[in-house]
């Protein structure tokens, strides 16, 4: 069965759903800490995408993946990758308070602002990242793909030690100078 004619229909229905799920939202504020994270929709998109891939691998009429032990192992590997990708993107967060920044999914890496020796922004073609390095050599990377990245960049820049700041060039200029609304709290 040739499913190619259905591609425009599937894409036209799926694209708005994906965009709705992965829309960018504001950061959370809890107990004086600002919490930045990836969109929850991105995590679900990864999970569903890998599960669809497993379904396609195993259940297409011409596929022998179910009958073949190697095929079952590949299907299990893709399902595991999808589940781990979901867990990581769902739990990943950056927590900024007055004294420190913490980042991670399962074990948070912590850098005190007083210990930061280097703060820079590396700008890629599609995405960039803030890199904070402490006296002890610990590095925290904060990707531009998190929700409300501009607010996160301004919060970090405002707390960096005297004489140290994020470079105000390229896209970082617009992030450091944009005005956002008040952060939303958890309801």
Secondary-structure percent of the chain, ordered helix, strand, coil, rounded to 5: 45, 25, 35
**Model's pTM, two decimal places?**
0.73
What confidence tens digit (pLDDT) does each residue in 119-162 have? 888 887 777 888 999 999 899 998 888 888 888 888 898 888 88
The mean pLDDT value of the chain amounts to: 80
Predicted local distance difference test score (pLDDT) of residue 25: 66
What confidence tens digit (pLDDT) does each residue in 66-101 have? 778 888 888 888 889 999 999 999 999 999 998 999
CATH for 94-179 (2.30.29, 3.60.21, 2.60.40, 1.10.10): 2.30.29
Better pLDDT: 97 or 23: 97
In what helix (H) or strand (E) does residue 128 lie, and over which residues does it extend? strand 128-134
64, with CB counted inside 10 A (0-12, 13-18, 19+), is exposed
Nearest Cα residue to 153 out of 120, 187, 104: 120
Domain range summary for the chain, segments of one domain joined by +:
4-24+38-91, 94-179
The percent of residues in the chain predicted with pLDDT above 70, rounded, is 82
């Amino acid at each position: 069965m040739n499913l190619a004619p259905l591609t425009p229909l599937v894409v036209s229905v799926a694209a708005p759903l994906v965009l709705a799920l992965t829309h960018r939202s504001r950061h959370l504020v809890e107990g004086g800490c600002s919490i930045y994270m990836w969109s929850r929709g991105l995590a679900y998109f990864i999970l569903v995408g890998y599960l669809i891939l497993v379904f396609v691998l195993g259940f297409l009429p011409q596929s022998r993946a179910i009958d073949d032990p190697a095929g079952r192992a590949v299907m299990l590997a893709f399902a595991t990758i999808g589940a781990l990708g979901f867990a990581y993107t769902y739990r990943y967060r950056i927590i900024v308070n007055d004294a420190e920044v913490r980042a991670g999914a399962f074990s948070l890496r912590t850098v005190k602002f007083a210990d930061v020796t280097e703060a820079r922004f590396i700008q890629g073609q599609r995405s960039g990242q803030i890199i904070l390095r402490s006296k002890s050599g610990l590095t925290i990377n904060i990707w531009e793909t998190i929700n409300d990245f501009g607010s996160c960049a301004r919060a970090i820049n405002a707390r960096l030690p005297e004489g140290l700041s994020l470079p105000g060039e390229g896209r970082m200029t617009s992030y450091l100078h944009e005005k956002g609304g008040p952060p939303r709290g958890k309801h």
